[in-house]
Amino acid sequence: MKAPYYLAGWGLGALLGGQWLCGQSAPVRLPEVAVYSTRVANQSPAGAFAMPLSALRFEPQVDVQARNLAEAQADVTLRGGTFEGTGFRLGALSLVDPQTGHYAAELPVAPALLGAPEILTGAAHAWLTTNSTVGAVAYGWKPVRTGGSLAVAAGTDGLNRQEFYQGYASDAVFLGQRLAADVAWGRSESDGAVPFGDSHLERVNVRLQLASAAAQTDLFAGYQAKFLGWPNLYTPFNSMETDRLQTLLVALNHRRDLGGGNFIEAGAYHRRNKDDYAFNRFAPLGALHPFQHTTGVNGAAAGGRQRLGELFLNYHGEVLADELRSTSLTAGRFSSRTLGKLAVVPEIVWRQADGADVTLQAGAAWDQSNHDGAAVSPVLAVARDSRSSPVQRVHLSYATVTQLPSYTALNSSAVAGLFRGNPTLGRETSHNLELGASGTLDGWAAQAALFYRQDEDLVDWTFRQGVTARTANRMNLATSGAELVVRRPWAAGEWVLGYTVLAKSPDYRGAPVDASFYALNYARHRLTAAFTVRLGREFELRCDNALRRQADNFLRTTGGDEAVISSLGLTYRPAKGRGGEFTLLADNLWNSRFQAVPAVPAAGRQISAGVARRW
């Protein structure tokens, strides 16, 4: 464990030393590079092509719990929530997977098409998204620019990967807007860091766009296919498991800015996810290979912000219709349902004598389902924004949000099989209280939040000794915590620090539980550190680190409860290379054996070398 701390000390020294050597000069513009998130250093992984999930691995407000590579399969959690409590928003749309939240992060979209992720919590999450309880990761569609890139790489464990992107913004005008289009393709395969840990991933995208100074319309189609093998992928029974996923997404999104912070955004989508899970990859097809599921979701949403006299009206409406076809999820009461949401949050702003603005939001959200009835949830927030104080914003919010369980929890047999469900599970309710502040001082930018969440009827998957299955159980759970993110650019780079502390009080309401796979799988303390250092005119060093102290869990068999996970990248861009670059990447630099998901073996160190050309 000494090496990680040596690196941390060396990195801090490089940062402080670089700042001292360069004095207080203004930050320089780093070479042109694909940036998918501004709060992480390495934008792409070592072991696969880049996915939206890749930039979340070291995001200060996000905890990614990976099986095999994060790009192969991973759960995304916010503020100590479960994988199913985290939502994903694309433009105006909430993207969901009704079978299981394990697949909610399956977004078959190249990061080159998307803006940087935004983490929604509190009141904003409550009225902007559907069917998630803790928060959401939100993406917007990036404007198309003429240009492209081609990248290839090879690495340890038989890795090879290829990526291609091309965008073209034409001079053609249609309906008063410029016509543009882009395409993206990615592919990777690897033998894996452990025996039978192989993966094969592929994705293809095409998008048409109409854009003007005030509006943007995107029509997108994307397809992604995955094969991944891993021992104990979803169960702790020493089996060589595999998962095959095929995800299709077709989406239409339109946004128009109306000026003064007012806007309207609407869209629709179809998502199909086909899942073929094998508990034993060596079992023959047929009766011994029964876990095959296909889900379809059709969704539409519209929302925005509109001034009405002295008031502003925030609003969002959404409807989702899903359907499940499954060979094993057949024990529940239904296999299709419709969800609807309407949120209306009026807002009023007062200008103070010192020039600060005080904003009050007070409204409610209405959730409806054809199988679980309706719920009305309050949304309250007050904020003070100052133009002259180093503390530029202080906010306090309270919001209640609700969610319905997945079909794996509802339709798995309650008495047999690897996954024990419960058809009587109903609507989950989460009460969220948040106090936050953000500001800048002498080049430093910081944001902080204190939060408390009370979950009622939360669905958790639990383990009991002597039972060869995991079981979906109701629980009540109180979670309290704090987040801090600090960012500082300097003359030759930038660094970002994040810290999260969590405490939980669970109540399984009398159910026999010996361990939790998800709700109680969290880091009591998590520190992230990302830095980018420009070494001269042609070399760039990027390093991400996550230090964590995990809550005890006897299902975690190796790696202990403390871990340091690092990713290191070195890039060389020849001054006369005409857009060429050479990259050396290492993920899990210290070869940590920490099990992000209890009982699931960790992926070992992955190293790759690549070459790319951008034009």
DSSP letters spanning 397-419: EEEEEEE---HHHHHS-SSSSSE
Q: Report the SS3 class of residue 590.
A: coil
Higher pLDDT, 125 or 491: 125
- Identify the band that residue 16 occupies on the pLDDT scale cut at 50, 70 and 90: very low
- Identify the band that residue 19 occupies on the pLDDT scale cut at 50, 70 and 90: very low
Which one, of 600, 587, 439, 434, lies nearest residue 517 by Cα? Answer: 600
Q: What is the mean pLDDT of residues 36-43?
A: 91
DSSP 141: B
DSSP 279: S
Q: 110-139, pLDDT tens digit by residue?
A: 999 999 999 999 999 999 999 999 999 999
Asked whether the predicted pLDDT for residue 21 surpasses 70, the reply is no
CATH no. for residue 357? 2.40.170.20
- pLDDT recorded at residue 101: 93
Q: Are 297 and 104 in contact (CB under 8 A)?
A: no
- pLDDT recorded at residue 387: 86
Q: What is the mean pLDDT of residues 185-195?
A: 95
- Identify the band that residue 348 occupies on the pLDDT scale cut at 50, 70 and 90: very high
Rounded Cα–Cα distance for residues 471 and 596 (Å): 20
Here the tokens at position 127 are 């009225």
Q: What is the mean pLDDT of residues 459-485?
A: 93
Here the tokens at position 535 are 């070494």
Here the tokens at position 389 are 């104080």
List the beta strands (DSSP E) in 309-427. Answer: 311-326, 336-351, 357-369, 373-385, 391-403, 419-420
Q: What is the mean pLDDT of residues 23-42?
A: 60
Q: Are 504 and 80 in contact (CB under 8 A)?
A: yes
Q: What is the mean pLDDT of residues 91-106?
A: 96
Per DSSP, helices labelled H in 58-142 are 122-128
Rounded Cα–Cα distance for residues 15 and 486 (Å): 14
Number of domains, the chain: 1
- pLDDT recorded at residue 58: 97
Rounded Cα–Cα distance for residues 407 and 241 (Å): 21
Rounded Cα–Cα distance for residues 229 and 122 (Å): 37
* Whole-number average pLDDT of the chain: 92
Which one, of 594, 468, 588, 582, lies nearest residue 157 by Cα? Answer: 588
- Does this model's pTM top 0.75? My answer is yes
Q: Which domain holds residue 281?
A: 2-614
Asked whether the predicted pLDDT for residue 144 surpasses 90, the reply is yes
- pLDDT recorded at residue 285: 66
Q: How far apart are the first and last CA of the chain?
A: 42
Rounded Cα–Cα distance for residues 330 and 161 (Å): 39
- pLDDT recorded at residue 577: 79
Which one, of 138, 103, 81, 77, lies nearest residue 430 by Cα? Answer: 81
Asked whether the predicted pLDDT for residue 345 surpasses 60, the reply is yes
Give how far Cα 483 sits from Cα of 184, 497, 551, Å. 35, 11, 17
β-pairing, 135-139 with 86-90? parallel
Classify burial at 171, counting beta carbons within 10 Å of its beta carbon; exposed 0-12, middle 13-18, buried 19 or more.
Answer: exposed
Q: Which range (65-69, 128-132, 152-156, 391-395) has the least confidence? A: 65-69
Asked whether the predicted pLDDT for residue 557 surpasses 90, the reply is no
Place of tokens 């009026």: 346
Q: Report the SS3 class of residue 9.
A: helix
Instruction: List, in sequence order, every residue forming a beta bridge with 304; answer none if it has no partner.
Output: 264, 315
- pLDDT recorded at residue 290: 81
Q: Are 296 and 270 in contact (CB under 8 A)?
A: yes
What percentage of the chain carries pLDDT values higher than 90? 83
